[in-house]
Amino acid sequence: MAQPEPSGSSPSIDQVSDLMNQPALQTPWAEAPDDVREALASTASGLSDAEVDRRREVFGWNRMEEPEPVRLTAIIVRQLRSLVVLLLAAAAFVALAMGDVVEAGAIGIVLVLNTAIGAAMEWRAVRSMEALREMDNIICVVVRDGESRKIPADQLVPGDIVRLEEGDLVPADLRLLTAAQLQINESALTGESAPVQKAPEPVEADAVLAERPAMAFKGTSVATGSATGVVVATGADTEVGEISDMVATDTADRTPLEERLDRLGKSLLRVVLVITVAVGAAGVFSGKDVHLMLETAIALAVAAIPEGLPVVATIALARGLRRMARRNALVRRLSSVETLGATGVICTDKTGTLTENEMRVVRWVPATNDGSPAAPIDPRSEPSAIADPMALAALCTSATLSDEDGRGTGDPMEIALLLFAREAGVDMADLRGAMPEVNRVAFSRETRQMATMHRVAEGTRVVVKGAPEAVLDGSTHTGLVASESLAAVATNGQSTDDADPNFERLDLDAERRAEWAAMNEELGQDGLRVLALATRRDDGERSTDAPFENLTLLGLIGFLDPPRSDVRDVVEKCRSAGIRVVMVTGDQAATARSVALAVGLVDDEAAEVVDGNAFKPHVENGVSIYARVSPRQKLDLIDAFQDEGYVVAMTGDGVNDAPALQRADIGVAMGQRGTQVAQDAADIVLQDDAFATILAAVEEGRTIFGNIRAFVRYLLSCNVAEVMVVGGAAFSGLPLPILPLQILFLNLVTDVFPALALGMTDADENALSRPPRPAEEPILRRRDWKEIVSYSGVISVAVIASFLIAMYSLDYTASEAVTVSFLTLALSQLTHVFNMRPAGSSFFQNAVTHNPYIWMALVLCVFLLAGAVFIPPIAQVLSLSPLTWAGWLVVGVGSLSPFVLPAVNGIFSTKR
C-alpha cells in the first residue's frame, strides 16, 4: 500500500481510514521512529488543524467508553427480581382477586418497604463511588502547525506530535521519537513497581507489553526526563482502552447469595403449589364449600411464604454494609457483603496491596577495611550512622520533596534517598548551600549512571550513582567515609593528585571487583533494586568532562517497595480461616518472591514461582506466587480457581487489574492508590488500601451469612408451623385454628422483629477460625431442614392442642378458641428465637441471649400482641376476642412448647 504523503496535499478520508492498517503501525515499537511518523502522514511540525478535524471524523475523540451510569430504576428492578419477592407479589394479587383488600395491602407494604431499603442502600453506594471518582481533564502539550499548544488530551488524534515532561500523564499511546533520560512509571498498567527506562530505539516485534521501551502508554506517568512522541492509538484503541473493553465485555455472574435465595424461593414455590393444590382438592372432593377451601388455600399460601424474609435479609445486608463502611470498605453491591464470607482464595496484586507502593532504602553495603563489600546492613536500624553516604547520594538526584506533605516528585528511588536523608537528620538545603551544584550529567540509557559536580573548597566533588555494573567499570578504588562529618567534605582543603582527604581509599583489584559483582547479584536475588554510589575529588584545575572515570566506590544501596507492616499477620489469619492467598503480579519473579517471603506468603527462599511465560490456565498445587502475569492470564487463573469450586476474591489497583476484578466473585479495588478503571470494575473499594480490611470484610461476610442462616431457620420454622396448623385442620375437618389475616399479622409483625434482631447479632469470636463454607452450600442444609420440621411439628401440636382445649374443655366460642390458638402460636414463635443460638453454646450464655436487640424485639412484640387483643378496632379486624384467666393459662403453657425439643435432646445427650 502506498503511504500517504507527509507533506503537501492532505490525505483523503479513505486514506485516513487506512492509516492504521499499514504494517509499520501494527507493531510500531519494532519500527524506526521516522518510519512510524511517516506512516501516519505526520511531520516534525505536527498536523494542521484541518487535518486534525478530518482525522477526528474517522478515529473519534481520545476517550474511553465511560461505564453506563447506574440508574435508580435499574437498582429498583434488581431488588424486585428475587423469586421470593415475586411469590409475595403473586400472593397479593390472589388476595386482591378474592376481595381481601387488607391482606393484599399488607403484602404490598412489605414489597415497597423491602424495595425501598435495598434500593436506598445501593443508591447510596453508587453516589459514594461517584464522589470518589476524579474527573480531572488531562492537559497535554501538542505540536500543530509548527507551534506548541496546550490542549485537552481528549482532542488528540493519531499522528499528533506530543511533548512529555517530568510529572506528565501520558495522554495517548505514543511511539517515542526522541527521549532524554526518560523514565516512565507503568505500575498501573503492567504491575512493574519501578520506573521503566525509555528510548526510541526499536525492539523485537514480539516483545511483551512490559518490554517495549520505545512506547509510552496512555495513563502512565513520566517519572523523570522528557520526550517527544507521535500518537499511534487513541481512546479505546490504546492498551488501556483494550483492557477497559475486556472489562466491558466480561459478564459478571450473580452473587452466590442471590443464587441461594433464588433456590430457596424455588423450593418454597414448589411447597406452596403442592400444599395449596393438595389441600384445596381434598376439601372440594370431600364436599366442603368451595369458597371456604379457596380461603384455606390462600391461608396456606400466605403461611408458606416468609413475607418478612426479603425485608430482614435486605436490612441485615444493609447493616453489614454500614459496618463495613465504618471499617473503610465501601461496598457497591448489597449482596456482595455476604459473598466475601465464602471466599476461599484471595488473588492479590503485589504493588500497592501487599506493599506500600513507595520505594525505601532498606540495605547499605559499605566497603570493609580491605576493600571487600561488608555484610549488608539495614540502614533504618541506625540511620544517623550512615547519614553521610546517603546524603552524598541524595545530592546526586533530580527528584524533589514537598515541604508541606513530604510527597516527592521524580524517580521513586531518588525520592527514597531524599526521604532517608531527611529521616537521618540531614538538612539538604544547608548541604546544597555548602556544596553548590555546578554541573551535572543526567542519567541515560547508554551510561546507566548519573553524576553531579559540587563546588567545595578549592575543588570539585563529583558524586555518581547508577547501575552497579556501570559504576564498577568506572571505579579504580573503594573507599570508607572518614570520621569527619559531611560538613568536612564541603570545607576541606585542596586534595593531592592521588588522595582524597575525606575517604580512605583502597585499590579495586580484580578479586575485589568480583566480590562486589557477587554482592550486587545477591541483592538482586533478594528482590532489591540496587544502585552503586561512588565519588571523586577534583582540584580546581581538573576537568569534569569525564565524570564516570577514576571513581572511588563507596558502596551499594538496596531499595525495596516494602511490605505493609500488617500484612504478615493478616496472611497468617487467612490461613487460620482456611483462605488461600495467592500473589498475582506483573513484576519480576525475584521481587515477587522477596515480598512473598517478607509477608509470610511462603517460608522457603526456593519457593516455586510460576512465570507468565510458562503459565498454564490451571491451578498449581502449592504455588502461591505468579509473576509477569498479563491481564488475560489473570482471567484464566481466576477461571481455574472457580472451576475448582473456590469463591475467588481479587484485589488490585491498576488498569491491568480491572478485567480480573470484574471476573472474580468479589473484586476488591484500592480507593487511595487505585485507578478509576479498577474502582469501576470492583464490587468493594478499600478506602484505606489496607489488606487487613479485606480480612475484616471476610469476617463481616461470615457473620452476615451466619445471621442470615439463623433468621431464615427462624422464619421458616414459624411458617412451617403455620402450614402444619392450617393443613392439619383442613385434612382433619376441624375449623381453621388461625385465619389468613392473623397469619399475615404474625409473619409481618411478630416474626419480623425477632428475625431482624437475629440479623444484628455481633461477630462470633470464632468466625475466622473455621474454614470457609463450600461454595455450593445452600442457605439451609439438610440438618437445618430437619430442625425446622422438628420444631415446627412441636409448635403446631401445641397450637392445635390449645385450640381443642379451648373449644371442648373451656367451652369457648369459635372466635375465642381462635384467639387462644393465635396467641399460643405467636408466643411460641417468640420463645422459639432462643433456639437459634449457635450450636454447642449454653442455653443461658450465648450470642442470642447477649444480643440486646433480641430482648427489645420480644418486648415490642408482646406489646403489639397485647394491642391486637385489647384494642377493639385491631381485635375486630383480626377476629380476636378477650380471654379468661383459664384461656391465658392454656396460652402460657402452650407457648413453652419450643423448649420441649432442646430439653429432650439434652436428656438423651446426658444419658449418652
Residues catalogued as catalytic: 349
Q: How many CB atoms lie within 10 A of CB 21?
A: 9
Closest C-alpha among 268, 218, 355 to residue 689: 355
Cell for 112? 415497597
Counting Cα atoms < 13 Å in the Cβ hemisphere of 851 gives 24
Contacts (Cβ under 8 Å, ≥6 apart) of 331: 125, 321, 324, 325, 337, 683, 684
Q: How many CB atoms lie within 10 A of CB 400?
A: 14
Q: How far apart are CA 361 and CA 381, in angstroms?
A: 11
DSSP 414-466: HHHHHHHHHHTT--HHHHHHHS-EEEEE---TTT-EEEEEEEETTEEEEEEEE
Q: How many CB atoms lie within 10 A of CB 748?
A: 17
The one-character DSSP state at 550 is S
Cell for 105? 395491602
Cα separation values, 166 from 221, 408, 409, 601, Å: 8, 12, 8, 36
Closest C-alpha among 206, 220, 219 to residue 198: 220
Give 796-799's long-range contacts (Cβ < 8 A, gap of 24+): 796/721, 796/724, 796/725, 796/728, 797/897, 798/824, 798/828, 798/894, 798/895, 798/897, 799/721, 799/725, 799/737, 799/738, 799/824, 799/825, 799/828, 799/894
Cell for 467? 547501575
Whether the CB-CB separation of 789 and 893 falls below 8 Å is answered with no
Backbone angles phi, psi at 668, to 5 degrees: -120, 115
Whether the CB-CB separation of 364 and 386 falls below 8 Å is answered with yes
| Residue whose C-alpha cell is 526526563 | 225
What type of residue sits at position 213? P
Closest C-alpha among 223, 138, 155, 148 to residue 184: 223
Helices and strands of the chain, counted as H and E runs: 32, 25
Burial of 6 (0-12, 13-18, 19+ CB in 10 A): middle
The CA angle 841-842-848, to the nearest 5 degrees, is 75
Q: How far apart are CA 624 and CA 600, in angstroms?
A: 11
* 3-class state of residue 890 by DSSP: helix
User: Please, where are the H alpha helices in 98-137?
Assistant: 101-132
Cell for 713? 431457620
Closest C-alpha among 23, 21, 11, 25 to residue 55: 11
The one-character DSSP state at 536 is E
Cα separation values, 410 from 77, 359, 750, 901, Å: 49, 12, 64, 71
Q: How far apart are CA 630 and CA 612, in angstroms?
A: 7
Whether the CB-CB separation of 463 and 471 falls below 8 Å is answered with no
Closest C-alpha among 878, 555, 866, 890 to residue 743: 878
Whether the CB-CB separation of 194 and 359 falls below 8 Å is answered with yes
Angle formed by the axes of helices 814-832 and 782-804, nearest 10°: 150
What type of residue sits at position 668? V
Q: How far apart are CA 23 and CA 39, in angstroms?
A: 9
Whether the CB-CB separation of 212 and 251 falls below 8 Å is answered with no
